[in-house]
Amino acid sequence: MFGASQTLAGVTVTPFSAMHAAPVSCAVRTIAEAVSSLPVKVFKQTDTGRREEIANHPIAKLLNEAPNGWQPAATFKRLMTMDCLLQPYGAFCQVNRVGDGRVYELLRLDPRLSSVVVNYANYEPLYALKTSGNDAAREIPASQILHFASPAYDQTRGLIGENRDVIGLAIVLERFANQLFLNGAKPSGIMSVPKTWVKETLDKAKAGFSASHSGSSAGGTAWITDDMKFQQLMLSATDAQYIELRNFMLGEISRVFKVSPHLLMVSERNAARSIEALEQEFLSFSLLPHLIAQQQEFTLKLLTEEERDAGITIEFDTTHLVKADFLQRSQALQAAVSSRIMTPNEARDLGWSLGPIDGGNVLENPWTSSAHAGGKLNTGNDNNDQEDTAQ
């Protein structure tokens, strides 16, 4: 149930137990919280090939303010992304429409309360929703289900199921550390005493040894009498190479979720990269695949066929993710406009998803010809009259 899988380490890994491992929780939250912080915009392709934002589109309100009457949009996007990363098949959301076909609300299907069965027998997915063990599954048309597919190759297992052994080992290592400090005595094993010892002597020896080598006294040297023998059974943290294994598992989980170790709060010794480069790496390789998949699903399921034919699309605005690189982006776009590689409107759209301005489709250098009399960008401005008067 819930994608439970037995691992070689002997623990059962589910999407919920996997979140008990700190590296998995950090990786999932890093991606999901980044997606939830991004605004969603609706764009329309104009006859000139430019994109214009439709700010008052009802879908933009659902995805930026509230998809239903009780849940903020940020919470909705965060939970849907977490389901996509953790659950078999991914995340599901029911799309409720009113009589005219307009989308009224979006309802995330909580995997703890309901299960969605996906049938790919005829290539086109068929969805069946089961909310109770006694009730029959209810079929739902694909047009009424938002499905963020799991990035796993085997959809029936999901990302957690496919990598259950990696995550299971991380869980076992955390349990080992807890057990090591719980037992306290180091090394842990069997204490043998002579058969002639009476119960009172045995109890005193046990209490004395535990008091000297448990709790705050753990890790001290074991002192025993010549008629006592100690047999080690449990590997110490050094023998088990615990620290090395923990660091190795952090790298493995980073690979599973495609996030850099520094996003798991691990310092990279050989990472001589700027903050801007790290942010761009996160956007390009970790976040962008999820954003593209989600915005394409939004466009396919939430817009009508007429709107899609008219060139209307739904996209995430990633501008604020690269705010740290604002100066470099501005200088690059300024150079492109000055070199007449791009028009000002193209630079505004590419750099900050801003709408066009009057005269912004002219391929001129604004720092030279456009600032003088006769410049196309200043046609009709007072600059022309001022230069004529000065002459």
| Pair 219, 337 in one domain | no
| Pair 215, 331 in one domain | no
Flag the least confident range among 47-61, 185-199, 272-286.
185-199
Domain boundary among 317, 341, 362: 317
Domain boundary among 301, 317, 333: 317
pLDDT tier, 388 (very low <50, low <70, confident <90, very high otherwise): very low
Q: Which of 40-49, 102-111, 201-210, 269-278 has the highest mean pLDDT?
A: 102-111
Please count the CA atoms within 13 angstroms of the CA of 71 that sit on its side-chain side: 18
| Pair 112, 216 in one domain | no
| Pair 11, 149 in one domain | yes
Domain boundary among 204, 233, 262: 233
pLDDT tier, 386 (very low <50, low <70, confident <90, very high otherwise): very low
Is the torsion defined by CA of 70, 71, 73, 76 positive or negative? negative
| Pair 149, 121 in one domain | yes
Q: Which of 119-123, 310-314, 338-342, 368-372 has the highest mean pLDDT?
A: 310-314
| Pair 291, 386 in one domain | no
**Confidence check: pLDDT of 348 > 90:** no
| Pair 72, 196 in one domain | no
Q: Which residue has the higher pLDDT, 191 or 14?
A: 14
What is the arithmetic mean of pLDDT over 146-175?
Answer: 88
| Pair 227, 252 in one domain | no
- Cβ(38)–Cβ(308) under 8 Å? no
Is the torsion defined by CA of 338, 339, 344, 349 positive or negative? negative
On average, the pLDDT of the chain sits at: 78
**Confidence check: pLDDT of 186 > 70:** no
From the list 40, 45, 86, the residue with the least C-alpha distance to 67 is 40
**Confidence check: pLDDT of 389 > 50:** no
Between strands 229-232 and 138-140, the pairing is: unpaired
Flag the least confident range among 92-101, 126-135, 266-275.
266-275
Cα–Cα distance, 282 to 353 (Å, whole number):
20
Q: Percent of the chain at pLDDT above 90?
A: 25
| Pair 114, 138 in one domain | yes
| Pair 291, 253 in one domain | yes
Answer yes or no: pTM beyond 0.75.
no
| Pair 85, 49 in one domain | yes
Q: Which residue in this structure is represented by tokens 């939004």?
A: 298
| Pair 243, 229 in one domain | no
- Cβ(50)–Cβ(345) under 8 Å? yes
**Confidence check: pLDDT of 119 > 90:** no
Q: What pLDDT, on a 0 to 100 scale, did the predictor assign at position 65?
A: 92
Facing residues of 192 across strands? 229
**Confidence check: pLDDT of 199 > 80:** no
Helix (H, G, I), strand (E, B) or coil at 27: helix
- Cβ(190)–Cβ(233) under 8 Å? yes
Q: Strands (DSSP E) along 257-300, which ranges? A: none
Flag the least confident range among 47-51, 172-176, 329-333, 386-390.
386-390
Domain count across the chain = 3
Q: Which domain holds residue 349?
A: 325-391
**Confidence check: pLDDT of 226 > 60:** no
